[in-house]
Chain A
Amino acid sequence: MITEFTPIQSLIGGTLIGLASVLLMLTLGRVMGATGILAGFMQPASPRDWSWRAALLAGMVTAPGLMLVTSGQMPAIDVPVSTPMLIGGGILVGIGVTYGSGCTSGHGVCGNARLSPRSIAATLTFMLFTGITVYILRHVIGG
């Protein structure tokens, strides 16, 4: 499935992701990492610790609806994989980000922006393994 190259939208979106990361550090002193925010939401340390995570997640899930209201259409979510792959991939992502202490947002954006050696190592590792996996699925098994 071919997708359109969208440098402008992607740059605008990336800038907003960065802006949110900076604002969260400035206000709450927290890293904008989806893994940590979600894990802490499900197993909160205290009610005060839970409330900001709940508010952040509530803001996130409002975004598609706001885009639908303002632009008249839902942003594209095209899923070119089967349901068993979504389930298997999802479980592996959940296990991997827990052991790896972060994902594309926590390590890939916030940790790399701090020049954290752990985040740089984690990012290089998951980008490499994602690339290898896509290559095998599309060109070795699927090819």
Chain B
Amino acid sequence: MQRIIITYIIGLIFGLGIMISGMANPAKVLNFFDVAGSWDPSLIFVMGGALVVTFIGYRLIFGKGPEKPMLDDTFHVPQNRTIDARLLGGSAVFGVGWGIAGFCPGAALPAVGALKPEVLIFAAALIAGIFIAKALQARAMRHAPS
């Protein structure tokens, strides 16, 4: 139960950060990328603040910090270091979608709580896209020569 409550509060902190920062406001996000037009550099401060805090926090945790997390047996950190076509291609497709819709997943999830139709439509399409990709990946696995 303690694990659930603590995780809920962390989700709430993340959600407040997203909403306060302006990340969940597509008009602001798209203006950040519109350097040639109505440029709004606010997102630099979102990413900058998040990165500095996370960089320092991670260094403390992974440096002289505990050997394992407080509520789990091990750290679940991705170990893959290979930059491949799947990573770059997927990221490029994500970028195109973000530029079209103005929402990224981390911004849309807390914004769902505002119950605006536009956010709910985007979230449904996002989930559909994840399932489409999972289905394509499963299909490719089945057809892959073993």
- Interface of B, helix, strand, loop or mixed by DSSP: helix
B30 to chain A: closest residue by CB: A134
Contact call B101/A85, Cβ cutoff below 8 A: yes
A103 partner residues in chain B, CB cutoff 8 A? 94, 104-106
CB pair A109–B50 under 8 Å, yes or no, is yes
A16–B13 contact, CB under 8 A?
A: yes
Question: Closest Cβ of chain A: how far from B46's Cβ, in Å?
Answer: 4
**How many residue pairs at the A-B interface have CB separations less than 8 Å?**
493
A34 near B111: Cβ-Cβ < 8 Å: no
User: Given the complex of chains A and B, what is the CA–CA distance between A138 and B50 in angstroms?
Assistant: 29
Given A77-B118, A98-B133, A131-B33, A14 contacting B46 (CB threshold 8 A) = yes
Inter-chain contact B16/A94, CB cutoff 8 Å: no
Closest approach, in angstroms, between the C-beta of A40 and any C-beta of chain B? 10
B51, B89, B100, B106: the one contacting A137 at CB < 8 Å is: B100
Picked from B37, B53, B105, B119, the residue with its CB within 8 Å of the CB of A105 is: B105
**Chain A residues whose C-beta falls within 8 Å of the C-beta of B44 in the assembled complex:** 10
Q: How far, in Å, is A23 (CB) from chain B's closest CB?
A: 5
- Cβ 8 A contact of A93, one of B8, B22, B97: B97
Assembly CA distance A122 to B71 (angstroms):
30
Collect the chain B residues with CB atoms within 8 Å of residue A94's CB. 97, 125-133
A-B contact pairs, 26 of them (CB 8 A): A3-B25, A10-B49, A13-B17, A13-B18, A13-B19, A13-B49, A27-B6, A29-B76, A34-B109, A59-B12, A76-B25, A76-B28, A79-B118, A87-B122, A91-B132, A92-B101, A93-B94, A93-B104, A96-B96, A99-B89, A99-B137, A100-B87, A103-B106, A116-B81, A132-B99, A133-B95
